[in-house]
A and B are shown apart, each in its own frame.
Chain A
Amino acid sequence: MAATDARPAPRPAARLSAREGVARQYDYWLTVYKRTWRGGVANSFATPLFYVLAMGVLLGGFIDADPDRLEGATSYLAFIVPGLVAAHAMTIAVSESTYPVMGAIKWHKTFFAQLATPLAVRDLVNAFLLFVVFRVASACAVFMLVLAPFGVFESWWGPVLAWVVQVLVGTAFATLAFGYSARLRSEEGFGLLFRLGVLPLTLFSGAFFPISNLGPVLEWVARLTPLWHGVSLSRMLCLDTVDWPLAALNAGVLVALCAIGWRWAVTGLDKRLEV
């Protein structure tokens, strides 16, 4: 039986380092990626392109491109692209961190199997989220590259930083959605999340129109939403209209959300898997 000694070397540390914990799951997530990347491509790349075509080009044709009223954009397409990509980052992040999380808890019990090994809850959360972030990052990168020739960016470095911001938006929403899903008993809660969370955020966080159009009260409400910070920062970077104090605030909020979301995800899964 024991022809191969596969026992790992004795390890004094009480738990794996974060890096080791994630590295050990690399092969797992690679197989997941190999299995699902095709569907991801359609979803990640085609959908936003339809949006750009319909909203940016066709609908944009009816809209006066007045830079004063479009936060400095010279066309409606240039105005919506940064916000659209940020909203898209959120959507991918949330969809990848809802049903798949519940699946790994309830339907496939993947987390339970993984937890019977030296991996800890924190390692499971990290690897899962890194995979989602990778998904978001690759989808947003392609999206931005495809749009570059359309003259919607005002500098070369702005869009690169904007991409980083979009990844940050994805990370923040992935962690929050993970924390929510880990606590959820039944999948009905997801419908609620998409209808009352993702959809209104997409529509009213300044991706499609300047939030100043909302009127003073709602404008402030919009400013309090997490997505707005991503849209605002992403747009300022793409259009080279950066207001640095505002940019710092936007970035600070997103980073803080990532940290809070990560805690929320780890504590949620910890409680949920504890039996």
Chain B
Amino acid sequence: MISARGLRKSFGDFEAVKGIDVEVLRGEAFGFLGPNGAGKSSTMRMIASVSPVTSGELRILGMDPATDGPAIRGRLGVCPQEDTLDNELNVFDNLYIYGRYFGIDRATCRERARELLEFAQITDKAKAKVEDLSGGMKRRLTIARSLINNPDVLLLDEPTTGLDPQARHVLWDQLFRLKQAGVTLVITTHYMDEAEQLCDRLVVMDKGLIAAEGSPRELIDAHSTREVAELRFGVGEHEALAAKVEDLGDRVEVLPDRLLVYSDRGEEVVTAVLERGLQPIATLVRRSTLEDVFLRLTGRSLAD
């Protein structure tokens, strides 16, 4: 569905995307996981065929965005990172008018708009002004709007940023149903739980490059241990104590507020730490997540 080879994007002297290879297959949910400024949105805009490719090769649905932009865009649904809803139109018209841009006839547009209001659970707001919607409702409307043309590929740039946990889960559920219906999903996020929940496959992106690629499980297996022991000590002690626990795991990461000891047996690490007379304020043993993969690959935490 989407294939990129050596894809680059520059803004003047600054290179936001530094040559990435990506292959998205029909019907899968593909993710770009990365921190702020990684180049996720820049990549998404090139895929959306609104931002010209600086160099490299990009094919979407077998077409070249440089020459077939309109035809490609006709089969994509785009939910940009920042809402671009029309504040001066009401909720229904935002969907209806948008559908008209795709050349969908009026009657079908109306019907489709009503279905999507239902889908986004904002039917009662149909006549409301966009300005009067909550942030989460706007987000749902944006996603609904991106579906007006029954897209083959749905591009979602940070779909759940700004949503409360409940709204996020509702949205994940809806995206999952879209995937079941055969829509290919491309999602960017800096939430690892979102990436784990939604994506069949993902790339970890950092500073314009791809650091790793695979399914969430594969990435965790390849780049982290099964478990992690988190040890919290007093402020400022972590750096010094790292050396004392280093031998207990495969690897130790020092964060400002805790130590992470990577080991397949987390409980044993904690026991050993206590046996050595160290007294952490708190301990926690958990499974490795994509966050750990990210930390390993980039030396930085996703949240920074």
Residue numbers of A with Cβ under 8 A of B are 1-8, 11, 13-16, 20, 24-28, 31-32, 35, 108-110, 112-120, 273-275
Additional A-B contact list (13), CB under 8 Å, known A25-B100, A27-B97: A7-B149, A7-B150, A8-B104, A15-B69, A24-B101, A25-B101, A26-B100, A28-B101, A109-B84, A117-B101, A118-B70, A118-B101, A275-B11
Contact status B178-A1, CB under 8 Å = yes
B71 interface residue per 8 A CB criterion: yes
Chain A residues lying within 8 Å of B86, measured Cβ to Cβ, are 108, 110, 113
Chain A residues lying within 8 Å of B173, measured Cβ to Cβ, are none
Contact status A27-B100, CB under 8 Å = yes
Do A20 and B103 contact each other (CB < 8 Å), given the known contacts A35-B88, A118-B71?
yes
Contact status B74-A116, CB under 8 Å = no
Dominant SS among interface residues on chain A: loop
- In the complex, which range does the number of interface residues on chain B fall in? 35 or more
Smallest CB gap from B68: residue in A: A14
Chain A residues lying within 8 Å of B11, measured Cβ to Cβ, are 275
Contact status A31-B97, CB under 8 Å = yes
Ordered by A's residue number, 29 sampled pairs between the chains whose C-beta atoms are within 8 Å are A1-B115, A1-B177, A1-B181, A4-B112, A6-B109, A8-B74, A8-B149, A11-B71, A13-B71, A15-B69, A15-B70, A20-B103, A24-B103, A27-B97, A27-B106, A28-B97, A28-B101, A31-B97, A110-B84, A110-B86, A112-B50, A113-B98, A116-B84, A117-B74, A117-B101, A119-B101, A120-B69, A273-B50, A275-B51
Identify which of B51, B100, B102 contacts A274 (C-beta below 8 A): B51
Chain A residues lying within 8 Å of B115, measured Cβ to Cβ, are 1, 3-4
Do A118 and B102 contact each other (CB < 8 Å), given the known contacts A5-B150, A8-B149?
yes
Contact status A117-B102, CB under 8 Å = yes
B159 interface residue per 8 A CB criterion: no
Chain B residues lying within 8 Å of A2, measured Cβ to Cβ, are 150, 181
Alpha-carbon gap, A5 to B115, bound state (A): 12
Alpha-carbon gap, A15 to B178, bound state (A): 28
Alpha-carbon gap, A110 to B97, bound state (A): 12
Q: Which of B4-63 contact A (CB under 8 A)?
A: 11, 45, 48, 50-52
Do A6 and B98 contact each other (CB < 8 Å), given the known contacts A35-B88, A117-B74?
no
Identify which of A14, A32, A275 contacts B45 (C-beta below 8 A): A275
State the Cβ distance, A101 to closest chain B Cβ, in Å: 15
Chain B residues lying within 8 Å of A120, measured Cβ to Cβ, are 69-70
Smallest CB gap from A107: residue in B: B87
B204 interface residue per 8 A CB criterion: no
Chain B residues lying within 8 Å of A113, measured Cβ to Cβ, are 84-86, 98
State the Cβ distance, A16 to closest chain B Cβ, in Å: 6
B67 interface residue per 8 A CB criterion: yes
Do A116 and B150 contact each other (CB < 8 Å), given the known contacts A6-B104, A28-B97?
no
Contact status B88-A117, CB under 8 Å = no
State the Cβ distance, B210 to closest chain A Cβ, in Å: 21
Chain B residues lying within 8 Å of A117, measured Cβ to Cβ, are 73-74, 98, 101-102, 149
Q: List 9 A-B pairs, minimum CB-CB distance, nearest first.
A: A117-B101, A113-B84, A118-B70, A8-B103, A118-B74, A109-B84, A116-B78, A6-B112, A7-B150
Chain A residues lying within 8 Å of B97, measured Cβ to Cβ, are 27-28, 31
Smallest CB gap from B94: residue in A: A113
Smallest CB gap from A103: residue in B: B88
Alpha-carbon gap, A24 to B104, bound state (A): 9
Contact status A119-B85, CB under 8 Å = no
Chain B residues lying within 8 Å of A11, measured Cβ to Cβ, are 71, 74, 103
B96 interface residue per 8 A CB criterion: yes
Smallest CB gap from A117: residue in B: B101
